[in-house]
Structure formats: structure tokens, C-alpha cells
């Protein structure tokens, strides 16, 4: 996760930026999102009816309201970017821990980073719970034709789904259940948005960061293959196209850029885990 460009813009600036994108719309409420998502009955999932894995929405884990309207683009994402939270490799695999993690990330992103909401679209806990990150991300996924503008990877926030995986995977591998839930989530994203499994990347493919850790990064070929299998594919997944690194999202201000790359949860934020 990194950089919320909107954090450095005024509300008017955000609105102007959204207008400048041409394809952006601002949705005022969850109800509006539900209306915009069409007539699909709750719980029937996406275009193909698949609802795996179950995803806890913002209301389910006790999210705060976003500080500004979340921007919903009427375009599909082109890729998925995998992150790690760089937080402790806890052995508390409970739902309560997953919800506390989601709240802690939101608190950090809003109160410390100054972003409007959680940066990433989805979070996978070490206990394999999958949670919505930024508001409206789940409704957008279910609709399959729109994308919430995130704040997880400089240059990619309007074109990539960001998934945070709880833990630090520089020398350790994620628990098998967490990795499997990540593959389930990626498969759901690929189905809904017609994204190829070959378009799954690590944060470090685009920004100067260790994220998602050497070990998890090394598992991305397996992840692509696992996702392809979930989609019914039998062929080997080709390596992704070479990513383009720098882009228009890069700030010209070195101090702001340095700040935008700070994605780590402060030590102690989750210790002790707060209860709702
Ligand atoms: Zn990252």
C-alpha cells in the first residue's frame, strides 16, 4: 500500500481531478452504490454467480465512514497488485483479529497518512478471512464494471486492485490457508473483471519497496497458476508483461514521494488488539 493522491488535494481538488478523469463518478452513499450496481439480488454474487471467497464488507468489520466521497471509476481494473502489511506474523487466526486488523489499517491510513479511507481494496488476514478495504470496493467487484480508486501503489491506483495480506513475508511464507484465500479472491477478481491471471503482480513490480516480501513475491508464479486453475485453465500461465514503473502518479515533490512509500503499520498499533 502507498500513496493516496487525494490526501494532498483539497475536496475541490479531488472533485476536479475526478472530473478531469472523464470516466469518474462520485457516489454519495452506499445506497447509491447499491442502486448503481443494478438489480442483482443480495448474496447472488457476481456476473457468474460465484461468491467465493466470502468477503466481509466495511459494515461487517466496523469501518468508519470515509472522510471524503470515495471515487468510483466506471472502468475495470487491468491487473491485481499483491501486498503484505509488514505487520507481525501472528498466530491469532480468529475473525476478531481480522476485523481488528482492518480497523487498525483504516485508522493508520486515515489518521496518520491522512488518506480518505483504507488504501487497499481488499485485505486477507493470516486466518484466511477476506475483508473489504476501501468502501464500495465489494459492490464494485460484484458489479464487475467499475473500480474504486484506491491508494495502494503509486501509479496504479486507478487501474489495479490492491490486496493486502496480513504478515511480513520477507523470510516467512504465508499460512497455506491465507495463500489459498488470496488465490480465491484473485480468482473472483479475475472472473468479475475479465482480468487474466497473468496480470497478477507484486507491489515491487511498480514501486521501490520490499513489498510483498521476497518469499511471497517468489510465490506469485504459483499464485497465478492456482488462480488459473480456479478459473478452469489447464495451460501454464505466461509470465506477466514487464511492468512499466514510473507513471503520472509519481509526485515531483521528493518529500511527498518518500511519505507516499511509507506503507508500514506502526509497531504497537495492533498490540494489544483492540476489540470493538
Ligand atoms: Zn505494498
Q: Which CATH homologous superfamily contains domain 5-260?
A: Peptidoglycan recognition protein-like (3.40.80.10)
* pLDDT of the residue at 237: 78
> What average pLDDT does the segment 86-110 reach?
96
Least confident of 42-56, 57-71, 87-101, 133-147: 42-56
Phi, psi of 129 (to 5 degrees): -85, 140
Q: In angstroms, what is the span from residue 171 Cα to ligand 1's centroid?
A: 16
pLDDT for 183: 97
Instruction: State in Å: Cα 187 to ligand 1 middle.
Output: 20
Q: What's the pTM?
A: 0.76
Yes or no: say if 184 and 230 are a contact pair by the CB < 8 Å rule. Answer: yes
> What does the mean pLDDT of the chain come to?
79
Q: At what angle do helices 220-230 and 176-193 cross, to 10 degrees?
A: 60
- For the segment 33-48, what is each residue's pLDDT rounded down to a tens digit? 333 333 333 334 444 5
Residues surrounding ion ligand 1 at CB below 5 Å = 83, 203, 211
pLDDT at 23 over 80: no
pLDDT for residue 222 is more than 70: yes
What confidence tier does 31 reach under pLDDT thresholds 50, 70, 90?
Answer: very low
Quote the ligand 1 centre to 233 CA distance (angstroms). Answer: 28
The residues spanned by each domain of the chain are 5-260
- Cα(229) to centroid of ligand 1, in Å? 25
Q: What pLDDT score was predicted for residue 2? A: 47
Q: Residue 31 C-alpha to ligand 1 middle, in angstroms?
A: 31
Half-sphere CA count of 96, side-chain side, radius 13 A: 7
Closest CA to 98 of 66, 124, 59, 65: 124
- Neighbouring residues of 136: CB distance < 8 A, sequence distance ≥ 6: 27, 30, 33, 70, 72, 148
Short-list 134, 126, 50, 119, CA closest to 90: 126
The mean per-residue pLDDT over the stretch 179-195 comes to 97
What average pLDDT score do residues 75-94 get? 96
Higher-pLDDT residue of 247 and 153 is 153
Cβ atoms within 10 Å, residue 38: 10
pLDDT at 204: 93
The reported pLDDT for the residue numbered 20 is 33
The mean pLDDT value for 149-175 works out to 96
What pLDDT does 243 receive? 59
Amino acid at each position: 500500500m502507498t500513496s493516496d493522491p487525494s490526501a494532498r488535494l483539497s475536496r475541490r481538488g479531488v472533485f476536479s481531478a475526478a472530473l478531469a478523469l472523464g470516466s469518474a463518478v462520485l457516489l454519495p452513499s452506499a445506497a447509491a452504490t447499491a442502486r448503481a450496481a443494478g438489480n442483482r439480488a443480495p448474496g447472488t454474487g457476481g456476473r457468474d454467480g460465484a461468491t467465493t471467497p466470502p468477503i466481509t464488507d466495511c459494515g461487517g468489520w466496523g469501518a468508519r465512514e470515509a472522510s471524503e466521497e470515495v471515487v468510483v471509476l466506471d472502468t475495470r481494473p487491468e491487473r491485481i497488485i499483491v501486498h503484505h502489511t509488514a505487520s507481525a506474523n501472528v498466530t491469532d487466526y480468529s475473525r476478531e483479529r481480522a476485523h481488528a486488523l482492518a480497523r487498525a489499517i483504516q485508522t493508520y491510513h486515515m489518521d496518520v497518512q491522512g488518506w480518505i479511507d483504507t488504501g487497499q481494496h481488499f485485505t486477507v488476514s493470516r486466518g484466511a478471512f477476506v475483508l473489504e478495504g476501501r468502501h464500495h470496493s465489494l459492490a464494485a467487484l460484484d458489479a464487475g464494471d467499475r473500480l474504486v480508486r484506491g491508494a495502494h501503489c503509486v501509479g496504479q491506483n486507478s487501474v489495479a486492485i490492491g490486496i493486502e495480506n496480513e504478515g511480513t513475508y520477507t523470510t516467512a511464507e504465508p499460512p497455506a490457508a491465507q495463500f489459498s484465500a488470496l488465490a480465491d479472491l484473485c480468482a473472483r477478481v479475475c472472473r468479475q473483471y475479465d482480468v487474466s491471471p497473468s496480470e497478477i503482480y507484486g507491489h515491487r513490480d511498480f514501486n521501490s519497496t520490499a513489498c510483498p516480501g521476497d518469499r511471497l513475491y517468489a510465490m506469485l508464479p504459483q499464485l497465478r497458476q492456482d488462480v488459473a486453475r480456479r478459473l478452469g485453465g489447464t495451460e501454464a500461465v505466461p509470465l506477466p508483461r514487464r511492468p512499466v514503473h514510473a507513471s503520472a502518479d509519481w509526485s515531483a515533490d521528493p518529500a511527498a514521494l518518500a511519505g507516499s512509500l511509507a506503507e508500514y503499520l506502526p509497531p504497537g498499533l495492533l498490540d494489544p488488539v483492540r476489540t470493538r
